[in-house]
């Protein structure tokens, strides 16, 4: 037998890329590649990239440049770019960085084994098609090692919303849902391998409308079906769009025990003028009312969101409306970004807000959000939560896991609890995590 070739995959961007990286590594496993932890040891380096903001894309090029000495030391080293930068820039990547041998878009990973053979033969390989078939179905069957207690499962991909700032509809293509039976099968396999918590993924996950045994199923129905799987204890989903928050899904948050009390529901802005310019197709008031309905179903739900400041045309008054919305809603967790013009998107044609103004707004918004985040975390002290232990902590005898509300919790606990769920009382709230005691 020949020695396994070594593959190093580095993942940027969203959780869907994390899921895809696992699938790509499995696909290359069938070509004799074994995953390693560093670029220095690798025969093939694959960067799974993100194009969402300018900085994310530029990172890829600076990272690629750093591989030059590795190539000089090992002329057989193959370098590939996958993901959303690959889709958006295609051949341009090879022009700009001749070190690159392979460019593969997010919808053609199942063709990777053949592409790997081509680059091993000294060719360059590029594939950024949007094929009709389900790439996940056509991936080679993986070897099935034991794995950690949490996993991602992509149920839906792509987006038809075309928010004016966003590259996703161009890099990931049109919205497609995977059929129910395949998802149930994949979930069962994950549970057999030790998974206790599954996060359902999609750029627009709550727009899920997959083919079921009796017609189309929405996300709520899929969640109820997954909840029937013994050994699967926790279900989450991300990311959702406010306009796709169907009643059955809101209700499930109140009635499905396995659905965790955490929801990521981005609003982007609190100004109706900006929401309209962003093509978000809802008002601030509609969003606030939606949150009220969700909280009526599940009062202790921890809400998370995304915000963009400095979108073209945003005035101080518009920004104040965002701060007001944040105060009204109150987030337990949030991500905020300065607007980044993305080539090819409608908003990129519009004049930018002054950089210093945008920076200042970002700081003010982040200060407010982090106060709310800390308050939500502090409010956990004294409460009983359930924790799924994922790994050992830095201190001796400590394990770290996630609470139902997705807070990281440090607990002194025996190693036998790794991969298990236990009741924990929260005793302390630190800067970024909680401390708890086994009950
Ligand atoms: N599908 C998800 C989000 C995908 S991108 C949704 O619709 O909510 C993740 C986040 O990145 C977005 O919610 C948005 O806040 C941010 N984002 C996307 N494009 C951006 C851009 N051009 N500039 C700054 N932030 C952006
Ligand atoms: Fe991008 Fe909007 Fe689609 Fe989210 S809903 S992926 S922000 S276009
Ligand atoms: Fe980035 Fe593509 Fe995800 S642009 S956020 S990796 S869908």
Q: What is the pLDDT of residue 141?
A: 61
Name the percent of the chain lying above pLDDT 90.
91
* Cα–ligand 1 centroid distance for 203 (angstroms): 10
Give the dihedral sign, CA 405/407/411/416.
positive
pLDDT-based confidence at residue 236 (cuts at 50, 70, 90) = very high
List C-alpha distances in Å: 376 to 168, 271, 295, 371, 380. Answer: 31, 25, 15, 9, 7
CB-based pocket (< 6 A), ligand 3: 13-14, 16-17, 50-52, 83-84, 167-168, 171-172, 203
Q: How many CA atoms lie within 13 A of 273 on its CB side?
A: 11
Q: What value does the mean pLDDT of the chain take?
A: 95
Strands lying side by side in the sheet with 262-264: 262-264, 302-309, 333-338
Q: Which residues contact 131 (CB under 8 A, 6 or more apart)?
A: 107, 108
- Burial of residue 384, with CB atoms counted within 10 A of its CB: 0-12 exposed, 13-18 middle, 19 or more buried: exposed
- Which ligand has an atom closest to residue 304 CA? 1
Report which DSSP code applies to 13.
S
Q: How many helices (H) and strands (E) does the chain have?
A: 14, 21
Of residues 145 and 25, more confidently modeled: 25
Q: How many Å apart are CA 67 and CA 100, to the nearest integer?
A: 10
- Burial of residue 4, with CB atoms counted within 10 A of its CB: 0-12 exposed, 13-18 middle, 19 or more buried: middle
CB-based pocket (< 6 A), ligand 1: 52-53, 165-166, 168, 203-204, 239, 241, 266, 268, 306, 308, 337, 339-340, 342
Pick the residue whose CA is nearest to atom 5 on ligand 2: 161
Q: What angle do CA 328, 366, 382 make, to 5 degrees?
A: 70
Q: How many Å apart are CA 16 and CA 336, to the nearest integer?
A: 19
Q: What is the pLDDT of residue 135?
A: 73
Tell me if 158 sits within 8 A of 177, measured CB to CB: no
Span of 28-42, 217-231, 253-267 with lowest mean pLDDT = 28-42
Report which DSSP code applies to 37.
S
Q: Which residues contact 158 (CB under 8 A, 6 or more apart)?
A: 168, 169, 172, 173, 174, 175, 176, 203, 204
Mean pLDDT of 116-124: 95
Q: What is the pLDDT of residue 110?
A: 87
Helix (H) or strand (E) holding 223: helix 219-226
pLDDT-based confidence at residue 182 (cuts at 50, 70, 90) = very high
Mean pLDDT of 283-305: 98
How many C-beta atoms surround the C-beta of residue 289 within 10 A? 12
**Relative to the CA of 341, which ligand 1 atom is closest?**
22
Pick the residue whose CA is nearest to atom 13 on ligand 1: 306
Mean pLDDT of 302-329: 98
pLDDT-based confidence at residue 130 (cuts at 50, 70, 90) = confident
Asked if pLDDT for residue 2 goes beyond 80, the answer is no
pLDDT-based confidence at residue 139 (cuts at 50, 70, 90) = low
- Which ligand has an atom closest to residue 161 CA? 2
Q: How many Å apart are CA 413 and CA 429, to the nearest integer?
A: 18
Pick the residue whose CA is nearest to atom 6 on ligand 3: 50
Q: Which residues contact 28 (CB under 8 A, 6 or more apart)?
A: 7, 44, 46, 112, 113, 116
Mean pLDDT of 34-57: 95
- Which two three-digit tokens encode residue 65? 């440049």
* Cα–ligand 2 centroid distance for 397 (angstroms): 43
3-state secondary structure labels for all residues of 272-319:
HHHHHHCCCCCCHHHHHHHHHHHHHHCCCCEEEEEEEECCCCCCHHHH
| pTM greater than 0.85 (yes/no) | yes
Q: What separation, in Å, do the N-terminal and C-terminal C-alpha atoms of the chain show?
A: 52
What is the residue whose two structure tokens read 């750093």?
66
Report which DSSP code applies to 141.
P
Asked whether 337 lines ligand 2 (CB < 6 A), one says: no
What are the tens digits of pLDDT across the range 351-403? Answer: 999 999 999 999 999 999 999 999 999 999 999 999 999 999 988 899 999 99
Beta bridge partners of 391: 400
- Which two three-digit tokens encode residue 100? 């690159």
Q: What is the pLDDT of residue 140?
A: 60
Beta bridge partners of 400: 391, 410
Asked whether 159 lines ligand 2 (CB < 6 A), one says: yes
Asked if pLDDT for residue 143 goes beyond 60, the answer is no
Tell me if 49 sits within 8 A of 80, measured CB to CB: no
What are the tens digits of pLDDT across the range 317-338? Answer: 999 999 999 999 999 999 999 9
Q: What is the pLDDT of residue 281?
A: 96
Q: How many Å apart are CA 288 and CA 220, to the nearest integer?
A: 21
Q: Which residues contact 323 (CB under 8 A, 6 or more apart)?
A: 270, 364, 365, 368
Q: What is the pLDDT of residue 59?
A: 92
């Amino acid at each position: 037998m020949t020695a396994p070739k070594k593959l190093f995959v580095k993942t940027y961007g969203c959780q869907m890329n994390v899921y895809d990286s696992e699938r790509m590594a499995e696909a290359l496993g069938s070509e004799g590649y074994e995953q390693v932890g560093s670029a220095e040891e690798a025969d093939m380096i694959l960067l799974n990239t993100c194009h969402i903001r300018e900085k994310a894309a530029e990172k890829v090029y600076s990272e690629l440049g750093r591989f030059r000495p590795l190539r000089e030391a090992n002329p057989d080293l193959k370098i590939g770019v996958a993901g959303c930068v690959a889709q958006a820039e295609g051949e341009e990547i090879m022009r700009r960085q001749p070190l690159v041998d392979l460019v593969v878009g997010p919808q053609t990973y199942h063709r990777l084994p053949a592409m790997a053979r081509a680059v091993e033969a000294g060719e360059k390989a590029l594939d950024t098609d949007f094929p009709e078939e389900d790439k996940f179905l056509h991936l080679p069957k993986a070897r099935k090692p034991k794995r950690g207690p949490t996993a991602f499962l992509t149920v839906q991909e792509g987006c038809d919303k075309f928010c004016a700032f966003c590259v996703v509809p161009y890099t990931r293509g049109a919205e497609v849902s995977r059929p129910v039976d395949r998802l149930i099968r994949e979930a069962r396999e994950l549970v057999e391998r030790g998974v206790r918590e599954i996060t359902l993924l999609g750029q627009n996950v709550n727009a899920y409308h997959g083919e079921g045994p009796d017609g189309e199923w929405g996300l709520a129905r899929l969640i109820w079906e997954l909840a029937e799987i013994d050994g699967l204890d926790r279900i989450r989903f991300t990311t959702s769009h406010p306009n796709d928050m169907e009643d059955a899904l809101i209700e499930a948050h109140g009635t499905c025990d396995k659905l965790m009390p955490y929801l990521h529901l981005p609003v982007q802005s609190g100004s109706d003028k900006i929401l309209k310019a962003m093509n978000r197709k809802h008002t601030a008031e509609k969003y606030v009312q939606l949150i009220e309905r969700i909280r009526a179903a599940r009062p202790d739900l921890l809400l998370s969101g995304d915000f963009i400041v400095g979108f073209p045309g945003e005035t101080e008054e518009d920004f104040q409306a965002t701060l007001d919305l944040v105060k009204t809603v109150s987030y337990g967790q949030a991500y905020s970004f300065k607007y980044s013009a993305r080539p090819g998107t409608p908003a990129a044609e519009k004049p930018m807000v002054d950089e210093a103004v945008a920076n200042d707004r970002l700081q003010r918004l982040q200060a407010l959000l982090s106060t709310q985040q800390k308050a939500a975390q502090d409010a956990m002290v004294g409460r009983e939560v359930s924790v799924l232990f994922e790994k050992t902590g830095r201190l001796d005898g400590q394990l770290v896991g996630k609470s139902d509300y997705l807070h990281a919790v440090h607990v002194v606990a025996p190693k036998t609890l790794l991969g298990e769920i236990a009741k924990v009382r929260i005793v302390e709230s630190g800067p970024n995590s909680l401390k708890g005691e086994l009950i």
